[in-house]
Structure formats: C-alpha cells, structure tokens
C-alpha cells in the first residue's frame, strides 16, 4: 500500500501521493522508497520505539509513535528484542521516521527464542487424534 505524508499537518497516511489529506485537504506528498527492511535491537523508551537509530511510527492516527508501539506489542515484541521491520521512510512533523508495516522477531537472540518457542507450542497445539 502506498504511503504518503501531509506537508501541512505533518501526518502520514496510507494513501497515494496526490490525494488530499483527510484532515486539511492538502495534497499528500510521496515519501520516497516504499519498502525497506531494517533489523536490530528494539528500544522502547518514553513513548517512542526505535530500531537502528530510527524512530518507528505508524500512520493514520494522532500519535504515530504510540501506534507503532501498540503494533509491536500486539506481535509480542518488547524493548530489548532483536527484530526485523519492513516499512518505509517518512517525514512526521519535520522529522524522519520509519513507518512500520511488518515486524517480526529475528532468530538469534535469547529473549526472542522464548517468544518464538511459546508461539510454536501454541501453534502446535493438541496433536491428539480422537479415540473411538
Ligand atoms: Zn494534513
């Protein structure tokens, strides 16, 4: 999905460049390369998540930083986990941020392993066959 930002209010939106901003009607601008993959240690501190020195954000809301944290938490990702994130560079209120589109824990980290195992066990579920 294309992502664009509004030069007037500084918000990012999951819309094509050129469409009007839902808030103020300013034509949205392109944010450049659409998808990139970054990985590293996730840091969540003072209401901002960051990875590899980039601030993480999610578009379409009033607070893109807390939206991003919500998104990461829903996936079981916590501060200190090693993760990989797919997304795009964007501008929010004059700052360069990274718009999160997908996030996953990476294999090689101790904290992450337990998360991955927990999920694998849940998915594995009951392999029992019914008895007759
Ligand atoms: Zn706007």
- pLDDT at residue 41, as a whole number: 95
In a domain, 85, yes or no: yes
Cα atoms in the 13 Å half-sphere on the side-chain side of 130 = 1
| Secondary structure (3-state) at 117 | helix
Q: Under 8 Å CB-to-CB from 46, ≥6 apart: which residues?
A: none
| Segment-wise mean pLDDT, segments of 10 residues, the chain, 132 residues | 73 86 89 75 95 87 89 94 88 83 75 50 49 56
Q: What pLDDT, on the 0 to 100 scale, is given for residue 129?
A: 52
- 130 inside domain: no
CA of 34 to the centre of ligand 1 (A): 20
Instruction: Return d(Cα 44, Cα 92) in angstroms, integer.
Output: 18
129 assigned to some structural domain: no
Distance 20 CA to ligand 1 centre (A): 8
Dist. CA 127 → ligand 1 center (Å): 52
In a domain, 103, yes or no: yes
Distance 43 CA to ligand 1 centre (A): 29
- Give the pLDDT score at 5: 77
The model's pTM is: 0.59
Instruction: Specify if 60 maps to a domain.
Output: yes
User: So what's the pLDDT on residue 103?
Assistant: 93
Question: In angstroms, what CA-CA distances link 132 with 76, 126, 129?
Answer: 39, 17, 9
Spacing, Cα 87 to ligand 1 middle (Å): 21
In a domain, 132, yes or no: no
Going from the Cα of 13 to the center of ligand 1, the distance in angstroms, rounded, reads: 9
* Domain membership flag for residue 38: yes
CA 89 to centroid of ligand 1, rounded, Å: 18
**CATH code: domain of residue 56:** 2.40.50
What is the rounded distance in angstroms from the CA atom of residue 97 to the CA atom of residue 58? 9
Q: How many domains does the chain have?
A: 1
Q: Which domain holds residue 25?
A: 4-124
């Amino acid at each position: 999905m294309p992502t664009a930002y509004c030069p007037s209010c500084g918000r990012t939106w999951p819309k094509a460049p050129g469409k009007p901003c839902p808030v103020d009607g300013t034509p949205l601008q392109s944010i450049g390369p659409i998808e990139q993959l970054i990985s590293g240690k996730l840091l969540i501190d003072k209401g901002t998540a960051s990875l590899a020195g980039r601030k993480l954000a999610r578009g379409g809301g009033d607070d893109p930083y807390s939206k991003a944290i919500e998104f990461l938490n829903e996936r079981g990702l916590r501060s200190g986990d090693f993760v990989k994130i797919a997304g795009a560079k964007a501008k929010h209120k004059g700052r360069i941020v990274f718009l999160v589109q997908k996030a996953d824990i990476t294999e090689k980290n101790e904290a992450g392993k337990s998360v991955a195992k927990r999920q694998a066990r849940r998915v594995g579920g009951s392999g029992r066959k019914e008895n007759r």
